[in-house]
Structures are given as structure tokens and as C-alpha cells.
Amino acid sequence: MVRLIEKHFKFSGVLPGDLQLFLETHLPKPKGKNKDILGVIDPKLGASINEALGIVCQHVGVVPEVIRGK
């Protein structure tokens, strides 16, 4: 499913509806000084998530290490 989301996102440039629904369902709603951060591999995807849902995303630092499994 991750590959399908990546492929769809790269071609369309918008947040896929399935991913948006998943994030809305399974992540807490951002409130005030919420310090929760969603790690993403693609900075453009992070920007789209932030714009659509107000969820802070990060693609640098420890995120690539976690995704690679190190």
C-alpha cells in the first residue's frame, strides 16, 4: 500500500484521499501546542499533509534512519 500511495502522490501532487482518511482516523487531532510529529520520507508529502490536516511532519534527522531500519 505504501508504494501505491507513493506512486499516486508523485504523479498527482496532492494528498491521496485514502491516506488522508487513514491519518484522520488514526492520528490525534492537533491541539494548541501539540508536540506530535509525523515522520515522512517525502518533504512534499509532508507539506501536503500539513496543509490539509494541520499535522506537523518531519523528513530529516532521525526519520530516514527509522525508515531504513537502522
| Residues 47-69 pLDDT 10s | 999 999 988 899 888 888 887 87
Tell me the residue range of the domain where 23 lies.
Answer: 2-68
Taking 70 as the threshold, does the pLDDT of residue 2 lie above it?
A: no
Query: In angstroms, rounded to a whole number, what is the distance separating the alpha carbons of residues 31 and 11?
Result: 32
* Beta partners for residue 38, in sequence order: 57
Q: Which helix (H) or strand (E) covers residue 39, if one does? A: strand 38-39
Distance CA 53, CA 10 (A): 19
Q: How many domains does the chain have?
A: 1
**Which of these, 14, 20, 52, 46, lies nearest to 38 by C-alpha position?**
46
| pLDDT on residue 21 | 92
pTM of the model: 0.72
